[in-house]
A = this chain, B = another copy of it.
Amino acid sequence: MLRSQTQSKRINCPNANLGDMEETGMQTTKFGLATQNRSQFINITGRLAELVGKEKWLNGFLTVFCPHTTAGITINENADPDVTRDIESLISQLAPQNAEYRHCEGNSDAHIKASIFGSSTQIIVREGKLWLGTWQAVYFCEFDGPRQRQVYLGFNGN
């Protein structure tokens, strides 16, 4: 599901050149993922943790950003998959696919859900690890799939 499209871009602040200190400043990267269903929550926590390790990001903020307008990012339970199914199901009752919409592409419900869930989340990285609660996972929320999607990442720290 996750394709190896990672492209890294390191943008160091000038201080990073002073001796052997760790790299600091803003760094960005992205990865692709292919969704299989119209509505689907994909747990991307493992992929994020792997990137944090590979990029040697130690302490700072990680922004996980969805560059699409019919998908979003949320944090919720990582244990029972029925939880995300319940979330998808209830939100689809609130914003049904076939209500009376003006937008003619038939995916207004997906745009509405994108704004309700939000386009990004911010995670604290602490000693090289995502500082999440025990039961938390980060989900890419597909609302108008199946499609090939991307996730943008920004890390500011050292």
Which A residues have a C-beta under 8 Å from some C-beta of B? 9, 11, 13-15, 18, 21-22, 24-26, 28, 58-61, 63, 65-69, 74-77, 80, 82-83, 85-87, 90-91, 94-95, 99, 101-105, 108, 111-112, 114-124, 126-127, 131-136, 150, 152, 154, 156-158
Copies of this chain in its oligomeric complex? 3
Main secondary structure, interface of A, reads: mixed
Q: Which residues of B contact A95 (CB under 8 A)?
A: 90
Complex Cα distance, B117 from A121, in Å, reads 12
Q: Which residues of B contact A66 (CB under 8 A)?
A: 133
Asked if A69 meets B75 with Cβ closer than 8 Å, knowing A83-B111, A86-B101, A120-B122, the reply is yes
Q: Which residues of B contact A158 (CB under 8 A)?
A: 11, 13-14, 25-26
Complex Cα distance, B108 from A82, in Å, reads 9
Q: Which residues of B contact A121 (CB under 8 A)?
A: 118-120
A86 touches B59 (CB 8 A): no
Q: Which residues of B contact A24 (CB under 8 A)?
A: 13-14, 25
Known: A68-B135, A87-B112, A133-B150. 18 other contacts (CB 8 A): A25-B158, A26-B60, A26-B158, A28-B124, A60-B156, A67-B133, A69-B75, A69-B77, A69-B135, A74-B115, A75-B115, A76-B111, A77-B111, A82-B101, A85-B102, A90-B108, A116-B116, A156-B156
